Amino acid sequence: MKKTIGLMRVSTNKQKDGMEVQKRSMLDLAKRNDFKITDFISEENVSGGRINREAINNLKVSIKNNEVERLVVNSVSRMGRTLVENVMLIDLCEKNNVVINTCEENINTENSGGMMQLKIYTIFAQEELAKIRRRIKRTIKLKKGNGLKYNGSIAYGLFEKNGVLHADEFEMKIVRNMKNLKSRGWSNYKIAKKMNENEIPTKTNSEKGWVGETIKRTLDFHYNSKEEVKFINA
């Protein structure tokens, strides 16, 4: 029996909770579309910033051996670490008749035009990430003790390594969603409620979750910061 595999990917050890969010999204998608995910695999950081590639390499072998029927990912941006990796995995699936489903973009390559839609989204996702990296490199930089903190903790969207702040890819995506909702007229309270409904953890994993003031501080920081942050392509 062929497998339906859920592929999860996190870029930093700070994103462990994000992996659970990805898994829930995939299970919800499978339930809505009447299929079952038989296996979950993850590509994540291991010690020293190295990436555990064994899982993704095993996935590719399984696809080549015609053992995989469907691949489910949370979003196009989670398929690979670069545009080249994304395209190679998509091509591998296409050549071996593996269906690809994405949760965020609601792409199903079983549908007419689905594969073309996936490839277009892949290019756009990579361009968006490149813009974010350029903007972060241009605008944010932390030197040890230089103050890009509030309430004694690192601002949401960033993490510290060796005295330098780095962009957290998963959290920065959440920040972009916050900004989008704010631009549509949502209040800080309404945004906080939406975050809690989607079970997005706060920076400190607070039991009470997001509140309006936390949303305000997060957005104020990312709108107003003039410092420069080094972006690590995790």
Q: Which residues contact 42 (CB under 8 A, 6 or more apart)?
A: 7, 8, 9, 10, 19, 55
pLDDT in tens, the chain (234 residues): 899 999 988 655 545 557 888 898 999 999 999 999 999 998 764 433 344 578 888 999 999 999 999 999 988 877 877 777 888 899 999 999 999 999 988 899 999 889 998 988 887 766 666 665 565 554 444 433 444 443 446 788 888 776 666 788 888 889 988 998 988 888 888 999 888 888 888 888 777 889 988 898 888 888 765 443 443 333
Question: In the numeric block, which tokens belong to residue 103?
Answer: 């949760």
Which structural domains are found in the chain, ordered by start? Answer: 3-129 (3.40.50.1390), 140-224 (no CATH)
164 with 142: CB under 8 angstroms?
yes
Distance CA 194, CA 177 (A): 11
98 with 69: CB under 8 angstroms?
yes
State the virtual CA torsion across 27, 33, 39, 40 in degrees, nearest 10.
-40
Question: In the numeric block, which tokens belong to residue 174?
Answer: 């959440």
pLDDT given for residue 105 in this prediction: 86
Q: Is 195 helix (H, G, I), strand (E, B) or coil?
A: helix
Strands 68-73 and 99-102, bridge-based pairing = parallel
Task: Identify which of 93, 96, 78 has the alpha carbon closest to the alpha carbon of residue 40.
Answer: 78
Distance CA 60, CA 217 (A): 43
Question: In the numeric block, which tokens belong to residue 3?
Answer: 């497998």
157 with 167: CB under 8 angstroms?
yes
pLDDT given for residue 234 in this prediction: 34
107 with 117: CB under 8 angstroms?
yes
pTM for this entry: 0.55
CA atoms 58, 64, 65, 67: torsion sign: positive
pLDDT given for residue 9 in this prediction: 80
Q: Is 8 helix (H, G, I), strand (E, B) or coil?
A: strand
Question: In the numeric block, which tokens belong to residue 135?
Answer: 């903007």
Question: What does the angle CA 215 – CA 139 – CA 145 come to, to the nearest 5 degrees?
Answer: 75
Distance CA 158, CA 155 (A): 6
